[in-house]
Copies of this chain bind each other. A is one copy, B any other.
Amino acid sequence: MNAIHPDMVNERLRGCGILPTAQRVRIASVLLAAPLHLTADQILAELRNRGEKVSKATVYNTLNLLAGKGVIRQLAVDGDRAWFDSNTTPHFHFQDVDTGALTDLPPETVRFEQLPPPPAGMEYAGIELFIRLRRV
């Protein structure tokens, strides 16, 4: 798996007003090493795999904290579990319906010719686009 220098993660967290504790840096390092889509359990497994000690509760707490600060994005793909995306730029996703795996859509491959105006008194808060794929 990809690596990112702890100092970078450290600064990134500090820059968002997040106290960069050892656990938080470990957790964030997994996701921030590359544009990735991971579940809480996958992150925990990767950390265990690296021999790094973090509790499940702290993984969840930290992921929620990071998502709240906009460092990562939480995705509701299926009702089963939450996915966390280290790519916070506007983009959409392919999803393999069999494995559940997510892939970023190259942003330039999606263009809307027309989108509905928000209803009166409402404004856009985000657009979620999933293209589900199955093996031919």
Contact = CB atoms under 8 A, between A and B. Distances in A.
28 contacts: A74-B79, A76-B76, A76-B77, A79-B79, A79-B82, A94-B119, A96-B122, A97-B125, A103-B119, A105-B116, A109-B115, A109-B116, A110-B114, A111-B113, A111-B114, A112-B113, A113-B113, A115-B131, A118-B131, A119-B133, A122-B134, A123-B134, A123-B135, A123-B136, A125-B132, A125-B134, A127-B131, A128-B130
Interface of A is mostly: strand
A134 B103 CA distance: 27
Contacts of A116: 94, 105-106, 109-110, 131
Interface of A: 74, 76-79, 81-82, 94, 96-97, 103, 105-106, 109-116, 118-119, 121-136
